[in-house]
Amino acid sequence: MSSFRAAESPAPYEYPQETREKCVKVQYANLEALDISKMEQPEGTAALAKQVLSFINTNGHGFSDEEIRRQYALCRDVFELPLEERRRFACDTAKGDFRGYKERANDRDIVEMYNIPKFTPEHSRPHPQLILDQLDEIKDFSLRIHNNLLLPLLRLFAYVLELDDEDFFVQRHRYEAEGLEYLRYMKYHPRPAATDAAEFGNVWTPGHSDYNTLTFLFHQPVASLQVQTPEGPWRYVRSRPDAVVVNIADALEFFSGGYLKSTIHRVVRPPPDQADRPRLSLIYFARPEAKVTLKPVASPLLRRLGMHDQTEGFTHEVTAEEWARARIAKDHKFRVGEVKSREGEIIAGVSQKLYD
């Protein structure tokens, strides 16, 4: 039992001010909002299907500003715990396991994370008391992301790919099944401006795709997340208070033979009026069930387009769990200096790419 006890309820969290820097404002990506509540209306799915080929900005998501800020308050507070307390919950990234606390590996690594896995017996684990105090609310928050955001979007993708069974993807993302989803609290510690510019080109996390199915990023007004546009240039993702930004991730790219593109995104140093304090992120990563194979689904659309048998060059079948673990383990090796690059083979002949 920990000797450290947090207050019953965290102090309110206030968002930082939006940036006033013009150089950011002119570089916002043009992300159309997708109103997820429309899926409950007749014809809603068909209308939304036209919007989902890249980054998605959903509103109508049903999460209140207050409850999102309560999650940010926990995110803020968990990283204020003494380091030895945080370390008691360390995750085993060398084994490709991100559950729990990930500390900064060294001065170059500016990211801390605390990942709270889905609430199934498989993932039952200890947490700091301040998390335990709010566990019911965290569970409710996570479950609602799964049920109210993930599942409708999975039905939308089944529709886009013209699958007979609208629950095809839903059946491969059952909450109770073996497999990993998690809510992530994240904290970026800004480097000194001169070091950041000279040694890192002001890039905090290089351009990458996520290795899951869909990633849900809750409102965060610090201008730092950028998306690579199909034409090439990077654009800031403007985070609206009423919207959740959704990345399409690797599993959907594999399931669709490359028809759906894993969103390429990166995190850069915020503009000067926002770079003076750590940046927090609140993110939910949804993944397919552990044993699901990452290969194109039997889709009439993909067949018509000749994309139905593209396997992205896997030399043997790879499951969602194998892919995620291999990517996390590769990242770990890079962070601790065991490999020079995060690029190169991940598993079964398939490589991960990074983008500048």
Contact string 129-158 vs Fe ion (x = CB under 5 A): ------------------------------
In angstroms, what is the minimal distance from the CB of 111 to ligand AKG?
8
Exposure on the CB side of residue 51, measured as CA atoms within 13 A: 20
Residue among 340, 336, 338 nearest 106 (CA): 336
Residue closer to ligand AKG, measured from CB, 120 or 205: 205
Q: Which is nearer to ligand AKG, 265 or 308 (CB)?
A: 265
Residue 176 vs 242, nearer CB to ligand AKG:
242
Comparing CB distances to Fe ion, the nearer of 77 and 210 is: 210
CB of 282 to ligand AKG, least distance (A): 9
Amino acid at 75: C
- Which residue number, 93 or 299, has a Cβ lying nearer to ligand AKG? 93
Residue with smaller CB distance to ligand AKG, 324 or 347: 324
110's CB contacts (< 8 A; 6+ apart) are 104, 188, 189, 190, 191, 204
Shortest distance (Å) from residue 105 CB to ligand AKG = 15
89 or 236: whose CB is closer to ligand AKG? 236
Instruction: Tell the residue number behind the tokens 């904290």, with chain if given.
Output: 187
Minimum distance from residue 259 beta carbon to ligand AKG (Å): 22
CB of 74 to Fe ion, least distance (A): 21
Closest CA to 49 of 158, 150, 146, 167: 158
Please choose which of ligand AKG, Fe ion, none residue 252 contacts, taking the beta carbon within 5 to 8 angstroms, the exact cut-off set by kind: none
Which residue is closest to ligand AKG by CB?
281
Cβ-contact 127, 116 below 8 angstroms: yes
Which of Fe ion, ligand AKG, none binds 115 (CB below 5-8 Å, type-dependent)?
none
Size, binding site for Fe ion by CB under 5 A: 1
281 binds, among Fe ion, ligand AKG, none (CB under 5 to 8 A by kind): ligand AKG
225 binds, among ligand AKG, Fe ion, none (CB under 5 to 8 A by kind): ligand AKG
Q: Tell me the two tokens of residue 167.
A: 């629950």
The amino acid sitting at 247 is N
User: Pick from 210, 250, 289, 321: which binds Fe ion (CB under 5 A)?
Assistant: 210
**Angle at alpha carbon of residue 288, lines to 284 and 294, rounded to 5°:** 130
Positions touching ligand AKG (CB under 6 A) are: 186, 205, 210, 217, 225, 265, 267, 281
Q: List contacts with Fe ion (CB under 5 A).
A: 210
